[in-house]
Structure 1
Amino acid sequence: MDPLAEVERVTGAFAAELDGADPAAPLQAVRWTVQQVAAHLGAVHRWAALNARTGHRNPRVNVPELDVTPAEWYAEARSELLGTLHELDPDARCYTLSRTDKTVRFWHRRQLHESLIHLWDLRSRNPDAEPPGEVSEEVWIDTVDELFDVFLPRSSAADRLDLGGTLRIVATGCGREWVFARDWSPGEARAATATVAASPASLALFVWNRLDLDAVDTEGDPDVVARFRRAHIRP
C-alpha cells in the first residue's frame, strides 16, 4: 500500500462529493453539516502540511468559518497538503501525534485515515450510503490499527473507561483481531467477555464511532461494548 497515493484517491473522492452538495445538508454520522465537515477536513489538511513543513506543532481551529464555498476551501487545502507531502522527504523529522513515528511519513497515514472517515461522514447525508469503496480491506484494517497504536496510547487513564471485561474485536474474512482486557492491556481471545465482528470497512467505521451496533455482530456482555464506545480514545 502506498499511503500517499491513497490520500490522493480518497481526498479526490471527497472533493468530487462536495461538488454540488448542499452546504447546509445535515450529516447522519456526525452532528455537522456538509460545510462544517469540509471546513474541518480542509483545516486538518492545512495543519498537517504546516506541521510537516515547519517540523513543529502549530495551532488549529477545528471548524473554521469560511469566506469561500466549501468546494473552493477544500480544493485549496487539498492542493496544499498534497503539494507539501510530495515535496518533503518522508523520513524527515517533524511533529506528529505518534509516540514512536516522528517523521513526515506519519502524516501520509494520518491524512489517509482522516480523509476516509470524513468521506464517510460526507456521504452519510444519504441514509442509504455504503462505506467508501475507494480503498482496499488493507486500508480499512490499518484505520483500525491506527486508533489502537496511535490514539489509544495518547489517551489518559480517565479517558480509558474500565471495560468491565475482555473485549475481542474481529475483522471478518481477513484473520485480524484485537483483544483488550478490562484495563485496555492486551487480552486473551479465549477470555473474551464480549465480541464485536464485522467486515473491515464496517468495523473501522464502528470503532471510530461512525456506525451503530446494528452494523456489526456482537456476542456476550453488551455493557463491555457500550463502555468501549463511550471511552474517549478517539481524537
Structure 2
Amino acid sequence: MPEPIDHLSEFERTAAEVAAVLDRVDPAAMVPNCPGWTLADLAMHLGSGQRWAASIVLSGISQKRPEVLRTTISWSDWYAGTTAALAAALRAVDPDEPCWNFAPVDQRAGFWSRRRMHETVIHLVDAVQAEAREATGLDVIPAEIAADGVDEVFGVFLPRMLARGAKPAVTRQVGVRAIDTGDEWTLTPVSEGDRPQVKRGKAAGEAVLSGTAAGLDLCLWKRLPADVLEVEGDHSVAAAFLAGKTTP
C-alpha cells in the first residue's frame, strides 16, 4: 500500500520550484498555454490564489479573492511570502476542521492543501514552458502526484465545470489508465447535467486512454496535445472527451 501523499509538504516543495523559476526568468516572458499571460501574470494569479485560500482556511468561510497590485519587490520574493502565509494557515488548522470549498466534496480544511498543491503543479509546468518553449513539463511532476491530480480532475473539476454551465465532457463511457502508477478510472455519463459516475480500479469504455500519469494530468489541463496518449477503441470518443471542458 503506497504511503499517502503529504499534500502540504508537496505544495511547499513545488512552490519553491516555482519561486526559483520566477527568480531566474524575465517576468515579461510569455506563458505558452495561458494566452496573453506573462510570467508576472502567472505569479500574480498564483500568489493571489494563495492569499485567498489562506483567508478561507483561517476563517472557515467563503472569501473574496484579493486584488493584487504590481509588487514593488521581486515576484519570486512576493510569491514566496504568499506561499509561507498559506502554509502557516494550513498548519494552524486541523485538516478535518469544517471549512468552505467550491467542490462537491467534504467541506474540510484539508481540501485546500491538495487543491493548492495541484494548482501549483500545473502552473509550475506553465513556468518551465515559459522558460524553455521546447519543455513539456512532464519531468517536473512526480508520477504519484500526477495520478492524484487526475483523480482530482475527475472528483472535483468535472462536476465544478458542469455547475459553471459547461457542456458535459463525459457523454460516452471512457476509461483512463496511468501506465506508470497502475491507477485506472472508468467515467460513465449519468443524466444530462449530473456529474459522471467515476469508478476507480479499472479502465473500461468505448475508448480507453493510456499514458503516464503526468501525461494524462497535463492533457486534462490542456497543457499538452492529446497525441502523447494512446487510445484503445473509438478514437472519436476519446477526442471528444479530451476536447471537452474537464478543467477551467
Q: TM-score range by the shorter chain?
A: 0.7 to 0.9
Runs of 4+ off more than 4 Å: 132-135, 186-190
Q: Deviations over 1:117-176 (max 9, x none)?
A: 100011112123243645532211110101111122233275243645322211113222
Equivalent in 201, 204, 217 of residue 204 of structure 1:
217
CA offset at residue 202 of structure 1? 1.1
* TM-aligned CA deviation for residue 87 of structure 1: 2.1
RMSD: 2.3
Quote the residue 2:173 is aligned against: 166
CA gap of 1:107–1:162, structure 2 versus 1, over 3 A, is closer
Contact 1:30 1:210 in 2 (8 A): no
Contact 1:131–1:202 at 8 Å: present in 2 too? no
For residue 149 of structure 1, the aligned residue among 144, 152, 155 is 155
Rounded to whole Å, the distance in 1 between the matches of 2:186 and 2:18 is 33
CA positional deviation for 1:59: 1.2
Change (3 A) 1:170 1:72: same
**Pair 1:127 & 2:133 matched:** yes
Equivalent position of 2:114 in the other structure: 109
Deviates most, 218-227 or 98-107:
218-227
CA shift, 1:80, in A, is 1.0
The 2-side partners of 1:103 and 1:121 are apart by: 29
2:187 to 176, 180, 194: 180
- Taking the TM superposition and a 5 Å limit, the aligned residue runs for 1:1-235 are 1-31=5-35, 32-60=37-65, 64-68=68-72, 69-125=74-130, 126-131=132-137, 133=139, 135-156=141-162, 158-161=165-168, 163-183=170-190, 184-186=196-198, 189-190=203-204, 192-235=205-248
Q: TM-score if structure 2 supplies the norm length?
A: 0.84
* Aligned AA (1:154): R
State how far apart, in whole Å, the 1-side matches of 2:95 and 2:241 are.
34
Structure-2 change in CA distance of 1:25 and 1:234 (3 Å): same
| Aligned-residue offset at 1:200 | 0.9
CA offsets, 1:5-60, max 9 Å, x none?
A: 11111011111111021111112222221111111000111111000011111111
Q: Is the 8 A contact 1:9 1:134 kept in 2?
A: no
Q: 1:6 to 1:204 in 2, by over 3 A?
A: same
Taking the aligned partners of 1:222 and 1:164, their CA distance within structure 2 comes to: 14
Q: TM-score, normalised by structure 1?
A: 0.88
Structure 2 stretches lacking a partner, 5+ long: 191-195
Cα gap change, 1:135 to 1:27, in 2 (>3 Å):
closer
Structure 2 CA distance for partners of 1:218 and 1:65, relative to 1, 3 Å: farther
Mark the CA change 1:186 to 1:10 in structure 2 (over 3 Å): closer, same or farther: closer
The separation in 1 between residues aligned to 2:233 and 2:140, in whole angstroms, is: 33
Q: C-alpha displacement at 1:186, in angstroms? A: 4.5
CA-CA distance at 1:99 after TM superposition:
2.6
Question: For the Cα contact (< 8 Å) 2:141–2:214, is it kept in 1?
Answer: no
**1:175–1:219 distance in 2 versus 1, CA, 3 Å:** same
Aligned length: 233
Deviation at 1:219, TM superposition (A): 3.6
SS in 2 for 1:27: coil
Deviates more, 1:131-140 or 1:198-207: 131-140
Alpha-carbon deviation of 1:182? Answer: 4.7
